[in-house]
Amino acid sequence: MKSDLIETYEKLRATYPFMVYEGFSYSLTDSELHISFEFSLADKHIFRPEVKIPLPDHTDRDILSDSLIRKLIFNLGMVELISYWKAACPPRVIVRAGQLDSKQQEWWKKLYLNGLGEFFYQNGITPGFDFMTIIADEPEGGSGPEPFSGVGTLVPVGGGKDSVVCLELLSELEACRPFVINPRGASMESIRNAGYMDEDAILISRSIDPLLIELNGKGYLNGHTPFSAMLAFNSLLVSCLYGLGEIALSNESSANEPTIPGTSINHQYSKSVEFENDFRSYVSEYLCRGINYYSFLRPLNELQISGLFSTFPAHFKSFKSCNVGSKTDSWCCHCPKCLFTYIMLSVFLPEDVLRSIFGKDLLADESLVPVFDQLTGMVDEKPFECVGTIDEVNIAVRRIIQKSDADELPSLLKHYIKQSGTCEDVSEDLKMLLSDFGPHNIPSEAKVDYLKKKINGL
């Protein structure tokens, strides 16, 4: 018997056999670039999401007629389309807004397949590579990259510990431009606490068409989309507008681990090195040469990043990594992200500091046992959140136990000892993790040497 979700999926695909990227428009209003996209779901529903980007005070070229800007906006629309496509998963995507050669079409299909891996999994969908066909005109004479020359580094800031570490470290080397999509309290406080003024930050507004939310409420398909892919294309456009030559992300090596062990399903796919490399190739082959997209924290793991973050106490009260509490800039203290962050920081920070950050001892909360078991690999799947590897969590938990009073262990640590049956010394494992330095695309040897020096001090 088919599940209700599969029946919904098949019914929606039959009802909406195609989706159209109709076009995009952009204009200048009050020193802002206003962008609007138009997507049609089988000519029955029209979506018009928008993006607003403030422009530099002295924009020295006509951006409305700039061919590179137009090309970047078209591709930004391609990644925005994913959020609307997933409502009904039409088998055909018709691109009328621009041109794509066959290799580009395959690139976008791969992003759909892997970037929506969690969405497919949680909706009971098992797509093959033929789950969707992209129909677009081939560009005449190719669609090669355009020249671009920029100076300076754009650093996307989300308000969590990773972007804090990236911004603080890079700021010791050079002046950076913090970049935020839909600013919130934590992201702005991260920027201020790193020594920047509000006017130093580039703040853009991205809006979802309300019709999509309405359709979701009526039972259309919904789920996780590759946010970091959307961030990548927005970052590229902003860097071009501001004349910046580098985009430094805060994605770590831990993001490469699948959420479902033994599969390619990864909540963090668009934060993975696979996506990073794919995006770099796509940009250099089709969009522009002169903007270097990379993750500054790629060679590091979550324990190293947590150790580095623990050296920036000015951010302890303001940073927030909790998605549940993002709208209120708070820690919900019930989700995997909260517990994971608490565990990582517990290796480096004393309990009283952790309590001041989170408001309670999360390791003493028995209601978090199911989440704890997911993080430590005691069950079949990790949480669908941006968390570290199972090995990192286990080494962190065992390290916390080793440095704690055995007679006063909080409930989650007692549960861990009971379930694992042992808690061997992890000093050497921890030492290896804290000295590890993985593959990366960091463009400067000076930056690499600086980062290595920082982790050597942990």
pLDDT at 439: 95
Q: What is the pTM of this model?
A: 0.95
Give the mean model confidence (pLDDT) for residues 29-51: 96
C-beta of residue 145 within 8 angstroms of C-beta of residue 286:
yes
Q: Which two tokens stand for residue 20?
A: 């159209």
Band (pLDDT 50/70/90 cuts) for residue 36 is: very high
The whole-angstrom separation of Cα 200 and Cα 181 is 14
pLDDT for 422 beyond 80:
no
Q: In this predicted structure, what is the pLDDT of residue 249?
A: 97
- The Cβ of residue 230 has, within 10 Å, a number of other Cβ atoms equal to 20
Residue 363's pLDDT is: 95
Q: What average pLDDT score do residues 127-151 get?
A: 86
What integer is the mean pLDDT of 336-364?
95
Q: Please tell me the distance from the alpha carbon of residue 110 to that of residue 428, in angstroms, as a whole number.
A: 39
Q: What CA–CA distance (Å, rounded) separates 300 from 254?
A: 8
The residue among 226 and 62 whose pLDDT is bigger is 226
pLDDT of 20 higher than 60: yes
Q: What is the pLDDT of residues 106-125, one digit of tens each?
A: 999 999 999 999 999 999 99
Share above pLDDT 90 across residues of the chain, in percent, rounded to a whole number? 82
| Tokens at 77, concatenated | 């629309």
- Is residue 58 within 8 Å of residue 22, measured between CB atoms? no
pLDDT tens-digit readout, 126-138: 887 789 999 999 9
Element (H, E) at 417: helix 411-420
> Across residues 296-325, what is the average pLDDT?
95
What are 175-223's pLDDT values in tens digits? 899 999 999 999 999 999 999 999 999 999 999 999 999 999 999 999 9
Round to whole Å and give the CA distance between 97 and 36. 12
Is residue 1 very low, low, confident or very high in pLDDT (cuts 50, 70, 90)? very low
Closest to 55 in 3D by CA, of 69, 36, 68: 69
Checking if the pLDDT of 2 tops 60, the result is no
Confidence of residue 60 (pLDDT cuts 50, 70, 90): low
Residue 81's CB: how many other CB atoms inside 10 A? Answer: 22
Which segments of 64-197 are extended strands (E)?
92-95, 133-136, 146-147, 153-156, 176-181
pLDDT at position 130 = 84
The yes-or-no verdict on residue 288 having pLDDT over 80 is yes
CB 92, CB 277: distance < 8 Å:
no
pLDDT at 169 exceeding the cut of 90: yes
Token look-up 């088919």 returns 2
